[in-house]
């Protein structure tokens, strides 16, 4: 158990809908990272937050947004969902904004039908 | 942009056999991370290599970093079914990028 929690574990929704994925980092970690893993793209970095502020952006679509709250949990919002958004979404945390030693949550499997 | 290629893509070995997974970078490596992922689950941090020539071990898994070759290798000795999963290497750039992954199956 990495100490990072994600909810929900599975999500099935229709195209055009909007969903919110939630992540709680390990106790004491200030950085939260979001990743998307699909069969054709592999593991792709989406976005990083550090202590409530956006720190780095990767291949995140404009339809996706994220935030980190004062209690350090984070949410990833996916809107206008398309079939191609079906993937595993992982959250990871690290102690600070410079550490690449990241601890991953169990992931949320999103299926868009 | 930097890319990490892993080889082999897939590996099936008999329990007790040794195996090696390679991770080759298209650019200079300033560190290398190894993760293991069980199918459909999150990644588990295995080890971090920070300097050329560095070698680290975790139980029966040993990883080395060869900066000159821009490559890291992960070696498993006397493989067990518990070693099965997907092994991913990661390299720090302005973010952490991941390799293509190596799927390992170990049969009794």
Instruction: Give the span between the Cα atoms of A108 and A85, in whole angstroms.
Output: 12
Q: Which two tokens stand for residue A9?
A: 């574990």
Q: Render A49-90 in DSSP notation, one character per residue.
A: EETTEEEEE-S--TTEEEEE-TTS-EEEEE-S--GGG-EEEE
Q: With contacts defined as CB-CB under 8 Å, which chain A residues touch B97?
A: 45
Asked if B34 reaches chain A (Cβ–Cβ under 8 Å), the answer is: no
| A47 vs B39: which has the higher pLDDT | A47
Which residues, listed in sequence order, are joined to residue B10 by a DSSP beta bridge? B103
Q: Which residues of A58-84 are buried (b: 16+ CB within 10 A; e: fewer)?
A: bebeeebebebeeebebbbebeebeee
User: Helix (H, G, I), strand (E, B), or coil: what is residue A21?
Assistant: strand
Q: Span A82-91, mean pLDDT? A: 95
With CA atoms as reference, the chain A residue closest to B48 would be A101
Asked if B100 reaches chain A (Cβ–Cβ under 8 Å), the answer is: yes
| Nearest CB neighbour to B42, from listed A48, A56, A104 | A104
Lowest mean pLDDT among A65-74, A76-85, B11-20, B60-69: B60-69
| A99 vs B5: which has the higher pLDDT | B5
Instruction: Give the span between the Cα atoms of B47 and B34, in whole angstroms.
Output: 5
Q: Span B69-84, mean pLDDT? A: 95
Q: Span A109-113, mean pLDDT? A: 96
| CB B52, CB B30: distance < 8 Å | no
| Nearest CB neighbour to B31, from listed A2, A45, A100 | A100
| pLDDT score of A6 | 97
| pLDDT score of A75 | 98
Chain A: closest CA distance from residue B90 (Å): 9
- Whole-number average pLDDT of chain B: 92
Q: Span B59-67, mean pLDDT? A: 92
Handedness of CA A25, A99, A68, A92 (dihedral sign): negative
Place of tokens 């290398």: B32
Place of tokens 């595993």: A88
| pLDDT score of B1 | 83
Q: With contacts defined as CB-CB under 8 Å, which chain A residues touch B42?
A: 2, 4, 90, 104-107
**pLDDT band, residue A9 (cuts 50/70/90):** very high
Asked if A58 and B48 come within 8 Å (Cβ–Cβ), the reply is no
The number of C-beta contacts closer than 8 angstroms across A and B is: 47
Instruction: Give the span between the Cα atoms of A91 and A48, in whole angstroms.
Output: 10
**Which of B4, B89, B92, B95 would you mutate first to test chain A, the one with the most A CBs within 10 A?**
B95
| CB A84, CB A18: distance < 8 Å | no
Q: Is A22 exposed, middle or buried (0-12, 13-18, 19+ CB in 10 A)?
A: middle
């Amino acid at each position: 158990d990495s100490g990072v929690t994600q909810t929900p574990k599975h999500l099935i929704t229709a195209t055009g809908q909007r969903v919110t994925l939630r992540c709680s980092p390990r106790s004491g970690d200030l950085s939260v990272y979001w990743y998307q893993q699909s069969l054709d793209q592999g593991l792709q970095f989406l976005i990083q937050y550090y202590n409530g502020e956006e720190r780095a952006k990767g291949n995140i679509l404009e339809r996706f947004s994220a935030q980190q709250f004062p209690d350090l949990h984070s949410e990833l919002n996916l809107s206008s969902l398309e079939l191609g958004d079906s993937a595993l979404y992982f959250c990871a945390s690290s102690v600070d904004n410079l550490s690449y030693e990241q601890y991953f949550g169990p992931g949320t499997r999103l299926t868009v039908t | 942009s930097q890319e990490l290629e892993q080889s082999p893509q897939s590996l099936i070995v008999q329990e007790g056999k040794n195996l090696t997974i390679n991770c080759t970078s298209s650019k200079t490596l300033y560190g290398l991370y190894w993760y293991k992922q069980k199918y459909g689950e999150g990644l588990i941090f295995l080890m971090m290599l920070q300097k050329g020539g560095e070698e680290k071990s975790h139980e029966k898994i040993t990883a080395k970093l060869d900066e000159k070759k821009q490559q890291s290798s992960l070696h498993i000795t006397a493989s067990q079914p518990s070693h099965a999963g997907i092994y991913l290497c990661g390299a720090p750039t302005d973010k952490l990028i991941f390799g293509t992954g190596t799927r390992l199956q170990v049969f009794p």
